[in-house]
Amino acid sequence: MSVPYYVTTPIYYVNAEPHIGHTYTTVVLDTVARYHRLAGEDTFFLTGTDEHGDKIAEIAAERGVSPQEIADEYSAAFSSTWKELGFSFDRFIRTTDPDHKSVVQAILQKVYDAGEIYFQEYEGLYCVGCERFLTDRDLEDGLCRDHERAPEKRNESNYFLRITAHFDWLADHIQQHPDFIRPERYKNEALSMLREESGLGDLCISRPKERLEWGIELPFDSNYVCYVWFDALINYLTGIGYPDGPKFEHYWGSAEHFVAKDILKPHAIFWPIMLKTMGLPVYRHLNAHGYWTVNGRKISKSLGNMVSPIDMKERYGFDAFRYFLLREMVFGLDSDFSEAALIRRINADLANNLGNLVSRTLNMTARFADGAVPKAGEPGDLEREIQAAAPETAARVDEFVRRYEFHRALEAIFEFLDRVNRYLETRAPWKAAKDPANADRVATTLYTSCESLRVIALLLASFVPDTAQEILARLGIADALKTARLPDDAGRWGVLEPGTATTKGAALFPRIEVPDEAD
């Protein structure tokens, strides 16, 4: 049986259309899920939408509709967008799904019966944007750090989860498992939260129905609904059949959560402690990435800079946008998006480099080998160098993808691609073909270039899936990904059969002319 691999996006809150931030996280998950499937690993990829809480009720009231209508509208926007973009998720979960409601209520009752939940009156500063009470750590000049909004003073009686009682356990677990939270800066941030007594208290897990009815009702008190974060985090269990489904037992031990750094606290602090109070083992890793800004500014509805992935697909093709996101951001750090930077990447990497190699190789195969992969002759030193570089590159890509260093994986692939382009320039089959005595040399050059394209396409298949599939189809091996196993098949040489019919095709990535370049 193959090794299980369970990966989750945060479930996206249904108060806005999908934008670059949501898209990046989902592109990352789609990339790793595709890669692990190609590696022969039993993979489950979960995404979905978070649909309860104050913000949804607030939007519904403003628009004069029910919260369910708001949830349905925005959840459908995410689901249809992710399908249009070709993401390979196994389940799209909604927190309004009946099975999720049942799981949340069963867990609430279990934790309550275990004595981990208590009732008390509480006064504090509440941020509707965060959907929680804030502490001094969360404020800057009296405003919520994340929403730049003054919190409301509230006095309520609510139910609380005893998380502070488990802080020492969690700190020990994080320190004993140094890669539990990655990259390291976020592990250190989580430990800092646990050390600062004023930073965190017990977690309020309810909201009184007298002010909020939109939520999952507490099974032990019908006057309250569940706090949206307690509800939302449990989706990672519901999505694979908790408590007794076969998928749950199979996948949970391999869970890899991916989140943006703004939701580190719920995932690094609340969630492990929730799991402990349920009697469940914690997830394997929490992987946090940085923010995308747009032209140096934070993404905001009011600024109108949210960058629609559908708009990017229509203008540039979604593979080009995927490539930019994965190549430009170092996982864990912030990065900036601009269309000018995207165009530069498309022209330099995809059009001038990858697209040019595909066009030259297949055009010359059509011209000098009647469109069929030629039989190679005896390899020379240059051919042996290319052959040796293929398994080296495949091993490096495998290492980088498994460490979530996507920019380095793409760098490695394009270093190999550059090597093949230089090889072609050196061998210059367009010149050698002028002398019939060079026929064997030309055939060897073209075979080496075609086989290199096969290697490149396999390695790119997780990053730019449509482009990789198109390259393989032009090489006459459209079904190659159905049986391929990475990294081994990308490191093997001589797989492409001589005589295989190839197709030239149009430019993979036409160069984009911009005013400064056109002048």
Identify the pLDDT of residue 518: 40
Residue 417 has a CB neighbour count (10 Å cut-off) of 23
Identify the pLDDT of residue 153: 84
Spacing of C-alpha 307 from chain mean position: 17
Catalytic: 289?
no
Catalytic entry in 83, 177, 301, 431: 301
Highest mean pLDDT among 141-155, 247-261, 292-306 belongs to 247-261
Identify the pLDDT of residue 197: 55
- The Cα–Cα gap between 182 and 271 comes to 16
Catalytic: 226?
no
- The Cα–Cα gap between 28 and 342 comes to 18
Query: Helix %, strand %, coil % for the chain, to 5?
Result: 50, 15, 30
Full set of structural domains in the chain with CATH = 4-289 (3.40.50.620), 339-518 (1.10.730.10)
- Confidence bin at 516 (pLDDT 50/70/90): low
Catalytic: 209?
no
- Give me the percent of the chain exceeding a pLDDT of 90: 87
Identify the pLDDT of residue 519: 36
- Give me the percent of the chain exceeding a pLDDT of 70: 97
Catalytic: 147?
yes
- pLDDT per position as a tens digit, 340-366: 999 999 999 999 999 999 999 999 999
Q: What are phi and psi of 354, to 5 degrees?
A: -65, -55
Indicate the SS3 state at residue 176.
Answer: helix
Helix axes 439-460, 465-474, angle to 10 degrees: 150
First to last CA, the chain: 59
Range of weakest confidence among 32-41, 120-129, 378-387, 413-422? 120-129
- pLDDT per position as a tens digit, 419-459: 999 999 999 999 999 999 999 999 999 999 999 999 999 99
| 37 residue type, one letter | R
Identify the pLDDT of residue 288: 98
Catalytic entry in 52, 144, 204, 257: 144
- The Cα–Cα gap between 359 and 453 comes to 11
Sort strands 285-289 and 181-182 into parallel, antiparallel or unpaired. parallel
Whether 304 shows a pLDDT value over 80: the answer reads no
Spacing of C-alpha 95 from chain mean position: 20
Q: What is the DSSP string of 219-272?
A: TTEEEEEE-HHHHHHTHHHHTTTTTT-HHHHHHGGGEEEEEEGGGHHIIIIIHH
Q: What are phi and psi of 451, to 5 degrees?
A: -65, -35
Whether 318 shows a pLDDT value over 80: the answer reads yes
C-beta of residue 35 within 8 angstroms of C-beta of residue 303: no
Residue 279: which region, alpha, beta or left (left: phi > 0; alpha: psi -120 to 50)?
left
C-beta of residue 220 within 8 angstroms of C-beta of residue 249: no
Identify the pLDDT of residue 302: 63
Whether 515 shows a pLDDT value over 50: the answer reads yes
Quote the pTM value. Answer: 0.94
- The Cα–Cα gap between 29 and 12 comes to 14
Catalytic entry in 55, 127, 187, 267: 127
- The Cα–Cα gap between 228 and 231 comes to 5
Whether 255 shows a pLDDT value over 60: the answer reads yes
Catalytic: 130?
yes
C-alpha R_g of the chain: 26
Identify the pLDDT of residue 193: 93
Asked whether the bond before 487 is cis by omega within 30 degrees of 0, the reply is yes
Instruction: Read off the pLDDT of each residue in 210-234 and give the average, rounded to a whole number.
Output: 97
Beta-strand runs (E) in 229-332: 255-260, 285-289, 292-294, 297-298
Catalytic entry in 52, 55, 130, 204: 130
- Confidence bin at 517 (pLDDT 50/70/90): very low
Instruction: Read off the pLDDT of each residue in 371-384 and give the average, rounded to a whole number.
Output: 97
Identify the pLDDT of residue 199: 58
Catalytic: 22?
yes
Q: What angle do CA 382, 383, 384 make, to 5 degrees?
A: 90
More confident: 152 or 128: 152
Closest to 215 (Cα-Cα) out of 374, 51, 78 = 51
Identify the pLDDT of residue 306: 84
Instruction: Read off the pLDDT of each residue in 453-479 and give the average, rounded to a whole number.
Output: 98
Range of weakest confidence among 110-114, 121-125, 320-324, 458-462? 121-125
Residues 6+ apart with CB under 8 A from 461: 34, 38, 468, 469, 481, 484
More confident: 200 or 215: 215
- The Cα–Cα gap between 434 and 444 comes to 15
Average pLDDT, the chain: 94
Instruction: Read off the pLDDT of each residue in 266-286 and give the average, rounded to a whole number.
Output: 98
What is the rounded (10 degree) CA torsion for 222, 55, 65, 71? -80
Catalytic: 83?
no
Catalytic: 265?
no
- The Cα–Cα gap between 306 and 18 comes to 8
